[in-house]
């Protein structure tokens, strides 16, 4: 049961809240593309683990709201559609990068083996030539570009 609230990160009204269980809620904002959850707080082990694995740009973009939730940019990865991720050299100079997926052809499939699986290959790959950048507040346009959202 999703519900829409005002985003504590950007102030838009496009923030989806999902109650995973009585203790944990996730927040995903389509206005700014940032997300957080009940465990994204300083001192929580979930948060500490994120700090270990997040790319530098993502760490630079972390932003704490008034309730102590730390917001981070989303990464969207739908194998047969494409990807949207934060991209750029610094938090002053970054954009959403959207990349479309294309079908792996019979000729090239040996270049895309599935790790650990004998004679199995990925069906889709990310076509970096389709990379297109979108400003921070145009996250939804980036999702439309890879056809996750309608135009």
Using CB under 5 A, list all residues that contact Zn ion. Answer: 7, 9-10, 29, 31-32
Quote the least distance from Cβ 9 to Zn ion, whole Å.
4
Instruction: Output the CA–CA distances (angstroms, integers) from residue 81 to 11, 27, 141, in the order listed.
Output: 29, 23, 14
With respect to Zn ion, which residue has the nearer C-beta, 31 or 73?
31
Quote the least distance from Cβ 26 to Zn ion, whole Å.
14
With respect to Zn ion, which residue has the nearer C-beta, 101 or 140?
140
With respect to Zn ion, which residue has the nearer C-beta, 74 or 145?
74
Instruction: Tell the burial category of 43 from Cβ atoms under 10 Å away from its Cβ (0-12, 13-18, 19+).
Output: exposed
With respect to Zn ion, which residue has the nearer C-beta, 32 or 86?
32
Quote the least distance from Cβ 109 to Zn ion, whole Å.
39
Quote the least distance from Cβ 32 to Zn ion, whole Å.
3
């Amino acid at each position: 049961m999703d519900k829409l609230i005002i985003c504590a990160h950007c102030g838009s009204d496009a923030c989806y809240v999902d109650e995973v269980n009585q203790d944990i809620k996730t927040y995903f904002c389509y206005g700014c593309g940032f997300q957080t959850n009940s465990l994204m707080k300083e001192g929580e082990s979930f948060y500490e683990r994120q700090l270990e694995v997040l790319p530098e740009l993502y760490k630079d973009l972390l932003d704490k709201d008034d309730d102590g939730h730390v917001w981070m940019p989303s990464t969207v990865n739908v194998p047969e559609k494409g990807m949207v991720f934060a991209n750029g050299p610094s938090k002053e100079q970054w954009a959403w990068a959207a990349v479309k997926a294309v079908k792996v052809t019979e000729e090239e499939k040996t270049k895309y083996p599935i790790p650990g699986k004998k004679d199995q290959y990925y069906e889709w790959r990310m076509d970096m030539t389709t990379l297109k950048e979108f400003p921070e507040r145009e996250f939804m346009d980036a999702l439309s570009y890879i056809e996750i959202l309608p135009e």
